[in-house]
Amino acid sequence: MFVDLHLHTCFSDGTYAPEELAALARHHGLAAVALTDHDSVEGCARMAVACAQNGLEYATGTELTAEFYGYELHLLGYFLDPTHPRLLRELAKFQIVRQNRIREMVARLNHLQVPLRSEVVFALANCRSPGRPHVARALVQEGLCRSLDEAFERFLKKRRPAWVPKFKMSASEAIQLLHEAGGLAIMAHPGLNRVDHLIGELAAAGLDGLECFHVKHSAAASEHYVRLARQYDLLVSGGSDCHGLSKGQPLIGTVRLPYPYFAQLRARAWERQAGSACAPGPSAEPCPAAGLTVGQVPD
Ligand code: AMP
Ligand code: FE
Ligand code: FE
Ligand code: ZN
């Protein structure tokens, strides 16, 4: 049994609706998935229903962009409560920052005589959490670039002329926020962020795990991060980072994490929830975090 714990939908920069993604997960024989849209948990409710219909286990989630000593890193939050008020307030702020950033990227493109309109990007994105892939797709759609790669290479990659830095919360604040919402904080694709030397300090700040298996990690890199996870007593995660068709071929099914890792992550989340805001009260209310009943013992 295998799982894929890094997937995006049309609620951020993926192209699939939750229902399409769940059907594909089933098609690929996956036993469980996690939804990790950038700065959004909007797709979580639909994904939960779609996964149930497809006989899949499911973890709520999101992917936050954070900063630690000037390094950018991405944090996956698993098993969080997608209705948690402070989480929703913070995500709403990030989404506004993203929308303003789109306007600024378009302004820079216009300054470069590239006649893209932000309305076109927003219409194409059709979500509250737009990002650079939407600008790239709009550039291709409007005939202003031949491919998504060209759009990134010429304009959107870091330090290219239409690139606009993104506001990032500190990694310790992001970890705290994910924990407060009942979730785990897992460093996404550590192999892409060159922050190995900070993992010890991040672990001390509450980081729960590393996404050791990722589509852009070589086998050697995956082994390296599994070793680091053991060294720092961190959980192991993995996923394809599938964005649907927005970056070429859909990647779902290309990274297959063995199911026991999912069970370990879930057990840690349950443990955390049982010890905090979701502690069983007199009525033993179901924990909202992942539709789980507090007191259930993970296998
Ligand atoms: P943003 O959150 O707006 O900065 O956009 C980040 C998204 O753009 C992530 O999903 C990345 O996978 C994607 N991305 C970053 N660099 C590239 C690239 N060179 N080509 C295609 N997609 C990219
Ligand atoms: Fe993305
Ligand atoms: Fe990422
Ligand atoms: Zn991602």
166 Cβ below 6 A of ligand 1: yes
Q: Which residues contact 32 (CB under 8 A, 6 or more apart)?
A: 3, 5, 56, 57, 58, 59, 259, 262
The answer, yes or no, to whether any atom of ligand 1 lies below 6 A from the CB of 157, is yes
pLDDT of residue 203: 98
Is ligand 1 within 6 A of the CB of residue 133? yes
Query: Which ligand is closest in space to the CA of residue 12?
Result: 2
Give the closest residue (by CA) to ligand 1 atom 19: 152
Does residue 14's CB lie within 6 angstroms of at least one atom of ligand 1?
A: no
Q: Measure Cα distances from 38 to 55, 107, 164, 265 in Å.
A: 25, 23, 17, 20
Half-sphere exposure of 159 (CA within 13 A, CB side): 0
Which ligand places an atom closest to the C-alpha of 131? 1
CA-to-CA dists, residue 208 to 75, 201, 266, angstroms: 10, 12, 12
Pocket-testing residue among 152, 169, 192, 246, ligand 1, by greatest number of atoms within 8 A of Cβ:
152
Strands 209-214, 235-239: pairing is: parallel
Residue bearing the CA closest to ligand 1, atom 11? 133
140-198 tens-digit pLDDT: 999 999 999 999 999 999 999 999 998 899 999 999 999 999 999 999 999 999 899 99
What's the pLDDT tens digit per position in 61-119?
999 999 999 999 999 999 999 999 999 999 999 999 999 999 999 999 999 999 999 99
154 lines ligand 1 (CB under 6 A): no
pTM (2 d.p.): 0.91
Give ion ligand 4 contacts, CB < 5 A.
63, 241
Grade residue 245 by pLDDT with cuts at 50, 70 and 90: confident
Name the residue of 11, 13, 75 whose CB sits within 8 Å of the most ligand 1 atoms, as the mutation to test its pocket: 13
> What pLDDT does 277 receive?
56
Q: Is the per-residue pLDDT at 289 higher than 50?
A: no
